[in-house]
């Protein structure tokens, strides 16, 4: 099956067969959260976004959603937001995500991604929320011995970020057992791409694709390749890039009452750092000089998902399969918004 033309993919996804519901999206002003909110509004859900704006952007929040600025550390504010929204389900995107920073400042990661997130869990129980959909990460697997990675592979995170997400997964299991709060935990592989109006705008950008695109945008002279001596065909790390709108569509499916448990979300295809840079050159039509640098600490050589479980059990169907489509959507957004959100 060939890849659909990117232009055919600009409209809304076919809405899954889930009746409209009231949902609260923690972290709905962030990169993945804001794209999900857009899709959820499109699908007819009544959406409340709860975001501290420490990393998120107010402008990224779909105007159809109700916005409440607040921090998960503030239990009373979190509970009040849940009650005001009459949330039946909560989507928890409100995590810190920088692997490198988590190894400098683990407290920040355990405090927000675990301890503040417990406030959200408790508030969900108090407000009678039925389900949580949680943004976990492939980083829970650490350095897997083989790929593609299946959900039941050993969980041996090699950084504090991955450990913080794994700890929250454990909490979800216990809250389900004890309080009956159902959950879906999605382990994202490498989120990338943009919708027509929302894209990746981290205050400190560490991810590969947006960093590479800074060169054709004229914001950087070259891009770094971290490590060229990995045991991969071209010596650079291989990752599974998954479009942010495909992640969003999985979250809509997770709202089905029968959806429950842990799911990997990736395309099942690996691309090396050099292949990503070549794709960025082809998509932008510009030269992108590279500077080869030593390995970045804690980078596994190869991460590729098996998403068979999400495909078979949730009926998920990623639509942006080709890396060029993913990069192309990112390029369109960055070209239109070179400085991100205001
Ligand atoms: N890289 C470069 N140059 C850059 C930036 C990155 O060579 O300027 C390399 C990295 O060393 C790595 C690859 O490109 O080999 C991808 O790096 P990213 O920072 O884009 O993504 P990571 O794979 O490190 O991490 C991302 C998420 C994690 C998640 C992981 C799962 O940030 O949360 O994907 O695959 F766990």
The Cα–Cα gap between 47 and 63 comes to 10
- Strand-pair partners of 46: 22
The mean per-residue pLDDT over the stretch 299-309 comes to: 96
Pair 298, 158: CB distance under 8 Å: yes
Ligand 1, atom 11, residue with closest C-alpha: 226
Question: Is 161 one of the catalytic residues?
Answer: yes
Q: What is the pLDDT of residue 17?
A: 75
Ligand 1, atom 12, residue with closest C-alpha: 237
The Cα–Cα gap between 67 and 61 comes to 8
The Cα–Cα gap between 92 and 264 comes to 16
The mean per-residue pLDDT over the stretch 183-190 comes to: 98
Q: Is the CB of 237 under 6 A from ligand 1?
A: yes
Does the structure show a pLDDT above 70 at 6? no
Cα→Cα distances 41→36, 48, 88, 265, 323, Å: 9, 10, 15, 22, 27
Output the CA angle 40-23-251, nearest 5 degrees: 50
**Average pLDDT of the residues of the chain:** 95
**Span from the CA of 75 to the centroid of ligand 1 (angstroms):** 33
Does the structure show a pLDDT above 70 at 41? yes
Ligand 1, atom 24, residue with closest C-alpha: 299
Q: Is the CB of 260 under 6 A from ligand 1?
A: no
Q: What is the SS3 assignment for 252?
A: helix
Q: Is the CB of 133 under 6 A from ligand 1?
A: no
Q: What is the pLDDT of residues 215-252, one digit of tens each?
A: 999 999 999 999 999 999 999 999 999 999 999 999 99
> What does DSSP say about strands 223-226 and 261-265: parallel, antiparallel, or unpaired?
unpaired
Q: Give the count of beta carbons closer than 10 Å to the beta carbon of residue 157.
A: 22
Tell me, what DSSP letter sits at residue 299? -
Number of H-type helices and E-type strands within the chain: 11, 13
Q: pLDDT band at 7, cuts 50/70/90?
A: very low
- Sketch the domain layout of the chain as residue ranges: 6-336
**Span from the CA of 74 to the centroid of ligand 1 (angstroms):** 32
The mean per-residue pLDDT over the stretch 122-135 comes to: 98
Q: What is the pLDDT of residue 140?
A: 98
Q: What is the SS3 assignment for 279?
A: helix
Which fold would CATH assign to domain 6-336? Answer: Rossmann fold (3.40.50)
The Cα–Cα gap between 110 and 251 comes to 24
Q: What is the pLDDT of residue 297?
A: 87
Phi, psi for residue 12 in degrees, rounded to 5: -70, 155
Regarding predicted confidence, which is higher, 332 or 12?
332
Does the structure show a pLDDT above 80 at 10? no
Tell me, what DSSP letter sits at residue 200? -
The Cα–Cα gap between 92 and 4 comes to 31
Q: What is the pLDDT of residues 188-214, one digit of tens each?
A: 999 999 999 999 999 899 999 999 999
Q: Is the CB of 189 under 6 A from ligand 1?
A: yes
Cα→Cα distances 79→48, 87, 123, 208, Å: 13, 10, 5, 37
**Span from the CA of 278 to the centroid of ligand 1 (angstroms):** 16
Q: Which structure tokens are listed for 321? A: 């399969």
Q: What is the pLDDT of residue 14?
A: 65
| Dihedral angle over CA of 138, 309, 236, 248, nearest 10 | -70
> What does DSSP say about strands 182-188 and 271-272: parallel, antiparallel, or unpaired?
unpaired
């Amino acid at each position: 099956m060939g890849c659909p033309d990117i232009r055919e993919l600009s409209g809304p996804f076919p809405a899954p067969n889930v009746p409209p519901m009231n949902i609260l999206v923690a972290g709905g002003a962030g990169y993945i959260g804001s794209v999900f909110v857009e899709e959820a509004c499109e699908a007819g859900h009544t959406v409340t976004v709860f975001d501290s704006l420490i990393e998120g952007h107010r402008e990224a929040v779909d105007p159809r959603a109700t916005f409440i600025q607040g921090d998960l550390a503030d239990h009373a504010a979190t509970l009040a937001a849940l009650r005001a929204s009459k949330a039946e389900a909560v989507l928890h995107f409100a995590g810190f995500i920088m692997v490198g920073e988590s190894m400098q400042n683990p407290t920040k990661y355990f405090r927000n991604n675990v301890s503040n997130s417990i406030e959200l869990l408790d508030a969900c129980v108090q407000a009678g929320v039925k389900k949580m959909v949680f943004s976990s990460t492939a980083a829970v697997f650490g350095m897997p011995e083989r790929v593609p990675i299946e959900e039941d592979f050993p969980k041996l995170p090699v950084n504090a970020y991955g450990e913080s997400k794994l700890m929250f997964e454990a909490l979800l299991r216990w809250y389900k057992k004890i309080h009956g709060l159902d959950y879906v935990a999605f382990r994202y592989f490498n989120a990338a791409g943009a919708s027509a109006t929302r894209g990746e705008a981290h205050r400190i950008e560490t991810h590969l694709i947006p960093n590479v695109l800074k060169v054709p945008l004229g914001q950087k002279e070259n891009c770094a390749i971290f490590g060229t001596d990995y045991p991969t065909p071209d010596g650079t790390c291989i990752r599974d890039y998954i479009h942010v709108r495909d992640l969003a569509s999985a979250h809509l499916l997770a709202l089905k009452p029968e959806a429950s448990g842990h799911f990997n979300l990736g395309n099942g295809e690996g691309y090396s750092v050099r292949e990503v840079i070549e794709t960025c050159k082809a998509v932008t039509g510009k030269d992108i000089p590279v500077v080869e640098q030593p390995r970045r600490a804690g980078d596994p050589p190869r991460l590729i998902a098996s998403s068979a479980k999400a495909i078979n059990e949730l009926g998920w169907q990623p639509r942006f399969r080709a890396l060029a489509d993913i990069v192309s959507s990112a390029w369109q957004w960055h070209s239109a918004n070179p400085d991100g959100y205001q």
